[in-house]
Structure formats: structure tokens, C-alpha cells
Amino acid sequence: MIDRPTVVVSFAQSLDGRIATRNGDSRWISGSETLTLAHELRRDNDAILVGIGTVLRDDPELSCRLAQEHFSPLRIVLDSRLRLPEASRIVQTATRFRTIVATLSDSTREQRDRLRNHNITVVDFAADQSGSGVDLQQLLQWLASQGIQSLFVEGGSSVITSFVRQRLVDRLLLVIAPMLIGDGTPAIGDLGTEALAGAIRLTPRQPRQLGRDLVWELEFPPTA
Ligand SMILES: NC(=O)c1ccc[n+]([C@@H]2O[C@H](COP(=O)([O-])OP(=O)(O)OC[C@H]3O[C@@H](n4cnc5c(N)ncnc54)[C@H](OP(=O)(O)O)[C@@H]3O)[C@@H](O)[C@H]2O)c1
């Protein structure tokens, strides 16, 4: 097993397993009572990670905004082509909150300098098996070498799917809202599961109700 931080994934989904509509609208699937859960997870983990798709769609700040909490974790954006806009909240707050953009080596010097001028650390990684994404195992090993012991993966769908498909997740904190979306963005995409025997079976903890939502914590099987 690789030396890596513990990884927790959390998202809010509809009853039919969607984390956004087909137009990408996800605000807000969960109720106000469960919104603070994401901030608690940010507070409780050393780093938080999202894909560039979520940044372009939602423009999140990814800071911990709980009353009387001043700690905000390291922010990491997976962005192979350095599309992170200068006007985004992440770039605009990068002097206050440490930020890393994980990219591939083919981005230009000009693209890197543009982000570095905003106090963002740009780190190169190898490409994953698809050839277009960041190699997550290499990223996790690098984070461990930087002293990061826990990582909160906040989305979106493609990033969650990559982590789960590669069996790099330890815990899932699932928020289920009493809502049906129909066609939309699946929480988890293709895992290559043909037979049920190959499905990933999680160990559930007792679910609890928060407002109208169900919050369910589940453990992934340990990896060999
Ligand atoms: N309900 C919720 O809890 C929740 C939470 C978060 C997001 N969302 C929603 O999710 C949607 C965004 O999901 P998304 O799938 O479009 O985007 P995403 O998962 O946020 O980002 C995907 C992008 O990340 C980059 N990437 C780099 N390395 C990767 C890797 N190893 N694996 C996967 N991606 C990698 C790729 O872009 P490059 O090739 O350009 O690098 C990829 O297209 C939005 O609608 C957002 O609102 C919902």
C-alpha cells in the first residue's frame, strides 16, 4: 500500500444519486442544517481537494467558515490544463489560504507564472492511465511527503469517481436529500463494475437525520 493521507469523500446527493442537475446546478441539494458538515470536514482535515470542473461551475472559496474557527486547510485543485480563472474566489483568496494547483507538465511557463503571481503553488504530476488527468497515487504520495495526513475530497463527480475507482478512499460521508433530480450529474460514474461480485461493499455506520436530510457515514474496505 502506498504511503498516503487518509481520504474522506463527502457529497450531497438526491435520492436518485445525483449531485447536480444536467446543467450542473447543485446549490443547494442539502438543507441548511447539513451545510455546516462540509465546513466541519474542512476544519478536521489537513487538506481539501476539488476538480477544476467544480471550480468553473461553482466558484467555491473552499475555506472553513464556522463561527470562531480560523483554521482553513490547504486547498488543492486538480487542473491538468491550468484553466483556473484569475477572477475565481480561489485565486482571489490565495494570499490568505494556502493553495496548490496539481497539473501536468505540458502547461506553459506563462500559465504557471500567471498563477504563481497570485501566491499559488503549481506542482507537476505524471498523467494518470487515461493520459489526461493527474496521477492521484503520485499526488497522494507527494502530499504525504509534505506532512499532509488527511484529505477531504469535496468533488465533483469525475474526481470522486477517479478516487473511488482507484480504491483511494477510506471513508464516505454521504448526505442524502429527499429530492429527485432525474437526469443529471451522477455522484459516482463508471467504476467498471460488470458483476455484483465486483461491486465495492462499504461498512455502514448508523445513519442520522439532520433537518430533512439523512447523513450516513460508511467505511471503505481496506486496500491490500
Ligand atoms: N452535490 C455536491 O455535493 C457537489 C460537490 C461538488 C461538486 N458538485 C457538482 O459537480 C459538478 C462538477 O463535477 P465534474 O465531474 O464536472 O468536475 P470535477 O470532478 O470537479 O472536475 C473534473 C476535472 O478535473 C480535472 N482532473 C484532473 N485530474 C483528474 C483526475 N485524476 N480525475 C478526475 N478529474 C481530474 C479534469 O479536468 P482537466 O483535464 O482540465 O484537468 C476533469 O475534467 C458541478 O455541477 C458541481 O456543482 C456537487
According to the model, what pLDDT value does residue 90 have? Answer: 98
Looking at residue 176, which CATH number applies to its domain?
Answer: 3.40.430.10
Q: Which ranges constitute the DSSP H helices of the chain?
A: 32-44, 52-58, 89-92, 109-116, 136-145, 157-165
Number of domains in the chain: 1
Does the residue 25 lie in any domain? yes
Reference 42, options 52, 33, 53, 50; nearest CA is 50
Does the residue 62 lie in any domain? yes
Does the residue 54 lie in any domain? yes
83 alpha carbon to ligand 1 midpoint, in Å?
Answer: 13
Instruction: Note the pTM of the prediction, 2 decimals.
Output: 0.97
According to the model, what pLDDT value does residue 146 have? Answer: 97
Does the residue 1 lie in any domain? no
Atom of ligand 1 nearest to the CA of 79: 41
- Residues ≥6 apart with Cβ < 8 Å to 204: 216, 217, 218
According to the model, what pLDDT value does residue 224 have? Answer: 64
Residues lower than pLDDT 70 in the chain: 70, 224
Ligand 1, pocket residues at CB < 6 Å: 11-12, 19-20, 24, 26, 29, 50-54, 57-58, 78-81, 83, 128, 132-134, 136, 154-159, 162, 185
Does the residue 199 lie in any domain? yes
Does the residue 22 lie in any domain? yes
142 alpha carbon to ligand 1 midpoint, in Å?
Answer: 21
Atom of ligand 1 nearest to the CA of 104: 41
Q: What is the pLDDT of residues 40-49, one digit of tens each?
A: 999 999 999 9
Does the residue 60 lie in any domain? yes
Which residue segment(s) compose the domain that 180 sits in? Answer: 6-219
Write the DSSP assignment of 113-169 as a string of letters: HHHHTTT-EEEEE-B-TTSSSB-HHHHHHHHHHTT--EEEEEE-HHHHHHHHHTT--
The strand pair at 6-14 and 184-186 is best described as: unpaired
Q: What is the pLDDT of residues 130-157, one digit of tens each?
A: 999 999 999 999 999 999 999 999 999 9
Reference 123, options 49, 208, 194, 189; nearest CA is 49
215 alpha carbon to ligand 1 midpoint, in Å?
Answer: 22
Does the residue 224 lie in any domain? no
